């Protein structure tokens, strides 16, 4: 004996549910193709960098001028900017201390 459901409301609700699941699956697959599937980015070649800094004598202005490429999945820019400002101040402080010590050494001679 087979059970047959003749309630139109149940049938309509099931059809809506199946259609919603299909739409959700299509949207998920489209998002996975557009935004990636979580794979890691390929490493940069040795010595390669997406940003540029002088080889030596980096100043606070050099650090402030560093900009990163805008990417969909990346770092929070306000945090990166804060770190860069902090490093710039630290570099300038260290350079001032080195210059002061060199002056003292020259004065002692």
User: Residue-wise pLDDT tens for the chain (109 aa)?
Assistant: 555 656 777 788 889 999 999 999 999 988 877 776 666 666 666 655 556 667 677 788 887 877 766 666 677 677 777 778 888 888 888 889 999 999 999 988 7
Nearest to 100 by CA among 60, 64, 92: 92
Q: Quote the CA–CA distance of 9 and 24 in Å, as a whole number.
A: 22
63 CB-near residues (< 8 Å, 6+ apart): 53, 84, 85, 87, 88, 91
Q: Which residue has the tokens 């570099």?
A: 91
CA distances from 95 to 54, 56, 63, 84 (A): 16, 13, 14, 16
Q: How many CB atoms lie within 10 A of CB 108?
A: 6
State the pTM of this model. Answer: 0.42
């Amino acid at each position: 004996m087979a059970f047959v459901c003749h309630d139109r409301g149940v049938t309509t609700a099931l059809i809506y549910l199946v259609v919603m699941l299909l739409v959700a699956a299509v949207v998920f697959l489209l998002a996975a193709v557009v935004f990636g599937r979580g794979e890691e980015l390929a490493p940069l070649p040795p010595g390669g960098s997406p940003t540029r800094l002088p080889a030596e004598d980096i100043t606070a202005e050099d650090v402030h001028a560093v900009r990163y490429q805008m990417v969909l999945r990346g770092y929070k820019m306000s945090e990166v900017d804060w770190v860069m400002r902090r490093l710039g101040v630290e570099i300038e402080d260290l350079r001032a201390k080195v210059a002061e010590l060199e002056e003292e050494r020259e004065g002692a001679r």
